[in-house]
Structure 1
Amino acid sequence: MSGSPLSRVRVVTAALVLPLLLTTAACAAAGGDPAADAGPPRPGGTLRLGISSNPDCVDPQQYGTNAALNVGRQLVDSLTDQDPKTGEIKPWLARKWDVNADSTAFTFQLREGVTFSDGAPLDAAAVKANFDGIKALGAKAQLASGYLAAYQASTVLDPHTVRVEFGAPSAQFLQASSTMSLGLLSPAAYRKTPDQRCQGDGLIGSGPFVFRSFRQNQEIVLAKRAGYTWGSSLFRHQGEAYLDQIDYKIVPEPGVRTGGLASGQLDAITDVQPVDEPQFAANGFTEPVRPNPGVVFNLHANTTRGVLTDEKVRQAVVKGINRPEVTSTVLTGNYRPATSILGSATPLHADLSAQLAYDPNGASALLEGAGWQPGPDGIRTKGGQRLTATVQFSPVFNQNRSVLELVQQQLRKIGFDLRIDQRTTAETVQAQQSGDYDYIWYNVTRADPDILRGIFSTKASNRSKLPAGNPLDAALDDQASTVDAAKRRPAVELTQKLIVEHGYAVPVFELTQVLAVGPQAHAVDFEASSRLQLFDTWVSGA
């Protein structure tokens, strides 16, 4: 479960769609050796995939939840693709591209012969229709609107060449062009309303699968696109997808998902909970794992509220959290302690492990130096004010409360009272937009460091409520001005250091995607933003 709690839908607790087994003992019945050679990939068959929440909308240009994007990735192609291992941008629908000196204009030369599933050509005019259409969605485009924030226009230079122009430096757009949020739909799709597209009506892409049906809170069905021959340069094979069909079963209850996989009623499941991981360590099962790039789970401070106006207090909180204890006690070895505000899988991540080391003595010294003295109950006070702040969170990741309760215990040891306030996702969104919070708890997935600009810049959401013209603003603008990684790196590293040094946000742990895959399913894989890529997936016995 990735993505910000400010952009993710609530977990649906609808009636179960399968008579799945709740017992975990069925794991042993699965049998098999995960190392056994299943032979070469073979076409055909259906992948039965258990997912943890209902995607209220399946249009990838609109919704930013994992549930939506794990579907949308299979329906739409992108101009580029991103190597999950290196972060490098690779060709897909665009054979090549040029970027001007200040990263305000991107010119793409498109592959020829690509069509949408309604037969319309995927040409420069279609690209223009998409970016104009996404821009018109405004806030409905939860992720894409940020990617196109400074978008001005697309110009068709010839049938297979398009120039995309921005009103300000936008180096992040090259990576954004690889995401499913900017995946391309047929121009005919824009004759449908956004709400119609959310339910799959008119959701016509050029991808390796086509939309078949969506039953809310039950299942989504996709079918193979016949004649598909324009896969990404990163795909393991070319031509059509192997699977005939993908059947997403919506199963919110973790125990029911694990039981369904163990009993053979599902071929793979998403969002395996830490307590359930040991079930799938053997017996023919595999556990694909990938940490999420982007902003890690963190306590994000409103620097204009209460005790958090004191920088020494914010710095003490950074030192007062034992991150390895969080991952080893509440989570599992698949989860990593945060080493920066950006996850380690994010391009240009800076290792700030030393600055994030557990140092309760250092935290206490900072607080005492700032005049915060221990009170009778162990919580520090200053001038009659208690050292306390509230963190608001929504349970979009099942372990959020357990993590925060442990952090609460750790901070009490330095005399800081962290109060925990669980809200619905809608309430958390409202609080974030109004600035009515001390700390907010969230993560955001994106395989580009520019995600920090959208959150911390005073020209964007400015969740820390910083004054304009601060040094962080300048660093965020600098990193947005060039696609050259070598030139960009110093500014990106500086942004991470400033955020940690000033305690604008307190990184805690990296979210990880943990799947469980049964012995009949193969090559269930992740793309660069840790969403599912199922083009190369196949099933035995098809």
Structure 2
Amino acid sequence: MRLTVPAFLTAGLLALAACSSGAGGSGEDAGPPRPGGTLVFAVSSDAGCADPAQVGSNDSIYSMRQIVDSLTDQDPATGDIKPWLATSWSSNPQATEWTFQLRPGATFSDGAPVDANAVKANFDRVPSLGARGTLPKGYLAGYQGTTVTSPTSFTVRFAQPNVQFLQGTSTHSLGLVSPASAAQTDDQRCAGVIGSGPFVLASYTKNQATVLTKRPGYSWGSSLFTHPGEAYLDRAEFRVVPESGVRTGSLQSGEVDAIASIGPQDEAPLAGAGIDLPSRANPGTPFGIVFNQATPLGADPAVREAVSTAINRQEVVSAVYTSQTKPATSALASTTPDYADQSAVLPFDPNRANQALDAAGWVRGPDGIRAKAGARLTLPLLYAPVIATNRPALELLQQQLRAVGIDLQLQERPVSDTATIQQSGQFTAAWLNVSRADPDILRAQYGSAGSNVFRFPAGTPLDGLLVAQAGTLDPAQRTQIVAQAQQQLVAQHLVVPVAELTTTLAVGPAAHSVAFDASSRIQLHDTWKSAP
């Protein structure tokens, strides 16, 4: 059964084309693209790792995406899966076996061939990745092995139907690294891996900079790239600049060419200075609060309900985020396939929050914070400064929750530590989002058989729905199951969605064609610089 353009992937992604799919400098008279030059890109954070399989924050993905190729690519305008390293693919009727044909001639930058054995080495290694490898392990859930039939042909086998795997092959997380890199330990890989992408990792200095150089002779790019052959840029530098004002000033002065994590205060001055502000809504799970179900507060339905109904999502979005940002209305962002609007069960209703806490025996103290059985209603919230808006958004949530007697305590940790903390279970709730253009992100995040950092119990109706959607071949039936899962997650307040992430960049006039991919990360193969 040939699945070149699966309907279950395209069915919700047409809306992704509504935002800008990419942009560059605003100078229309720059002429045709020219090779050469260095793009300097300022980001706000660093995941502490230079391995695409072990990073999940956008600021690190921006650079890591450039050093690896994927088996497939995903069209950001339509959601269609397109050829990259793989020229064709097919599935058995049960979607338990996926067979791919590779293009010949691609190599890793250490000279090793990108062949079927290299793919097998990559996929065989994924299940043993540690806490930082949550994303690729989710895409390969139920992995039983890869059978190599020729240097350019292989079949990937799963224990159960896995309809989301094809889209997973388009992600940075399953981007291929050299077998020598695949065999290294997790920490060794985090020091830097060898890929086959249009750029090579020249240096990585944790919390400072990632430097990439053009791969000479590159000629096996995605079918979605706008030009064949090597990248235009000679070099790309990703500098870690945590302060939003410093990033903005550096762009305005010409010290950097582009910046990420644009705040609302940056929009008007940057636009007024002739800076382009490309934006694109991120599919996947929106920013929000997710409870650790193994903790007393996470297991308390009254607390979860009060947190959800005390939050004024529109106020948060208007005060903190760029003008293109929307309040979250489900456990999935509205640009994700099979999104189902749950806004009816996400009201801003402080009276309901107070009633739920009163009925559960949480009594206000002299300072307004509630307590029960001698324990204050203090909710520690784990988060990482992966985007400049996180801190101000959470400070506003603190005020909103205090109004109903909840003491929200912010626990900021480096992005490099959060995965380990979540795996340990030593947290009560976490603030996060994950971008992916497939609804299976719900199973990867909240299914009991996955990493399950939020300790969702097995055997529940929700758990059954998350498993069922991953193995359902009929697109309409899958849509229905995913909708039911979203309803349960939101109605039971197991997750508290707050704001949909919209990636807004600022790109100076000398940089052109900084393009978004389907997950609203950047692709630099076609990016170029104007003459100085």
Question: What TM-score does the superposition give when structure 1 sets the normalisation length?
Answer: 0.85
Question: C-alpha distance in 2, partners of 1:244/1:206?
Answer: 16
Distance 1:541 1:139, change over 3 A: same
Residue 81 (structure 1) aligned with residue 70 (structure 2):
no
Q: Residue in 2 aligned with 1:228?
A: 218
Matching of residue 102 in structure 1 with residue 91 in structure 2? no
The one-letter code sitting in structure 1 at the alignment partner of 2:30 is: A
Say yes or no: does 1:401 pair with 2:401: no
Aligned CA distance change for structure 1 residues 367 and 481 (closer, same or farther; 3 Å): same
Q: Which amino acid is the alignment partner of residue 226 of structure 1?
A: P
Aligned counterparts of 1:194 and 1:388: Cα–Cα separation in 2: 36
Query: 1:530: how far off?
Result: 2.1
Task: Note the C-alpha offset of 1:464.
Answer: 4.8
Give CA-to-partner distance per residue, 1:193-250, whole Å, 9 cap, x none: 55444333xx332222223333454433322223323221222222322222223333
- Other structure's SS at 2:262 match: coil
For 1:104-503, what aligned pairs fall within 5 Å after superposition?
A: 104-139=96-131, 141-190=133-182, 194-200=186-192, 203-303=193-293, 305-306=295-296, 308-367=298-357, 378=368, 389-413=379-403, 415-425=404-414, 429=419, 431-482=421-472, 484-503=474-493
CA apart distance, 1:308: 4.9
Structure 1 CA distance for aligned equivalents of residues 367 and 187 of structure 2:
54
Distance 1:424 1:541 in 2: 41
Quote the Cα distance in structure 1 between the aligned partners of 2:46 and 2:385: 15
By how many angstroms is 1:387 displaced?
Answer: 5.3
Query: Which sections of structure 2, spanning at least 5 residues, go unmatched?
Result: 1-23
Report the CA distance between 1:142 and its aligned residue.
4.5
SS in 2 for 1:500: helix
* 8 Å CA contact retained: 2:74, 2:81: yes
Q: Distance in 1 between matches of 2:522 and 2:339?
A: 22
Do the aligned partners of residues 230 and 427 (structure 1) sit closer, same or farther apart at CA in structure 2, a change above 3 Å counting?
closer
Distance 1:113 1:297, change over 3 A: same
Q: Which amino acid aligns with 1:255?
A: G
Contact 1:103 1:482 (8 Å CA) reproduced: no
Deviates more, 1:144-153 or 1:133-142: 133-142
For 1:339 and 1:322, locate their aligned partners in 2 and report how far apart those are by CA, in whole Å.
12
CA distance in 2 between counterparts of 1:433 and 1:216 reads 22
Q: CA 1:223 to 1:382, structure 2 compared with 1: closer, same or farther past 3 Å? A: closer
Matches within 5 A, 1:34-53: 34=26, 36-53=28-45
Q: Structure 1's 82 and 484: CA in aligned 2 closer, same or farther, altered over 3 A?
A: farther
Assess if the C-alpha contact under 8 Å between 1:224 and 1:244 holds in 2. yes
Amino acid at match of 1:421: L
Mapped contact 1:34–1:283 kept (Cα < 8 A)? no
- Alpha-carbon distance in structure 2 between the residues aligned to 1:153 and 1:539: 43
Distance 1:187 1:436 in 2: 35
- Equivalent-residue separation in structure 1 for 2:365 and 2:168 (angstroms): 50
Aligned length: 508
Question: Bigger shift: 524-533 or 46-55?
Answer: 46-55
Q: Does structure 2 conserve the Cα–Cα contact (< 8 Å) formed by 1:172 and 1:450?
A: yes
1:63 aligns with 2:55: yes
TM-score by length of 2: 0.86
Q: Match for 1:398: what amino acid?
A: A
Q: CA deviation at 1:502?
A: 0.5
Alpha-carbon separation, structure 1, partners of 2:469 and 2:208? 43
More moved, 218-227 vs 165-174 = 218-227
User: Aligned to 1:337, what secondary structure does the other structure show?
Assistant: coil
- Tell me, in whole angstroms, the C-alpha distance in 2 between the residues paired with 1:386 and 1:133: 45
Residue by residue over 1:241-285, the C-alpha shift from the partner in whole angstroms, topping out at 9 and shown as x without a partner, is 222222333333333222221111211122233333332113221
For residues 267 and 113 of structure 1, what CA distance do their matches in structure 2 show?
34
Cα gap change, 1:352/1:144 in structure 2, threshold over 3 Å: closer, same or farther? same
1:509 aligned partner: 499
Separation in structure 2 between the aligned mates of residue 460 and residue 193 of structure 1, nearest angstrom: 21
Q: 1:474 to 1:276 in 2, by over 3 A?
A: same
Q: Which segment drifts farther, 243-252 or 390-399?
A: 390-399
- What SS class does the counterpart of residue 336 from structure 1 fall into? coil
One-letter amino acid matched to 2:315: E
Counterparts in 2 of 1:521 and 1:355: CA distance versus 1, 3 Å: same
Once residues 168 and 54 of structure 2 are traced to their aligned partners in structure 1, the CA distance between those partners, rounded to angstroms, is: 14
State the shift of 1:385 in Å.
Answer: 6.8
Distance 1:449 1:515 in 2: 25
Relative distance call for 1:429 and 1:225 in structure 2 (3 A) is closer
Alpha carbon RMSD of aligned pairs, Å? 2.9
- TM-aligned CA deviation for residue 155 of structure 1: 0.5
Distance 2:310 2:91 in 1: 44
Which one of 512, 515, 520 corresponds to residue 522 of structure 1? 512
Shift of 1:467: 3.4
CA distance in 2, matches of 1:118, 1:372: 62
In 2, distance between residues paired with 1:199 and 1:305?
35
Task: Give the drift of 1:148.
Answer: 2.5
Query: CA 1:493/1:441 → structure 2, altered by over 3 Å: closer, same or farther?
Result: same
**Identity within the alignment, %:** 53
Structure 2 residue matching 1:155: 3-state secondary structure:
strand
SS in 1 for 2:220: coil
8 A Cα contact 2:422 2:454, kept in partner: no
Distance 1:377 1:46 in 2: 56
Report the 3-state secondary structure (helix = DSSP H, G, I; strand = E; otherwise coil) of the residue aligned with 1:141.
helix
Partners of 1:464 and 1:387 in 2: CA distance: 20
The structure-2 alpha-carbon separation of the partners of 1:290 and 1:142, relative to structure 1 and needing over 3 Å to count, comes to same
Structure 1 residues 359-403: Cα deviation after superposition (integer angstroms, max 9, x where no partner): 334444545565667666555667777655443334333333322
1:55 positional shift? 5.2
Q: Give the deviation of 1:76 after TM superposition.
A: 1.2
- Structure 1: 5+ residue runs without aligned partners? 1-31
Cα 1:430–1:365 shift into 2, 3 Å: same
**Residue identity in the other structure for 1:183:** G
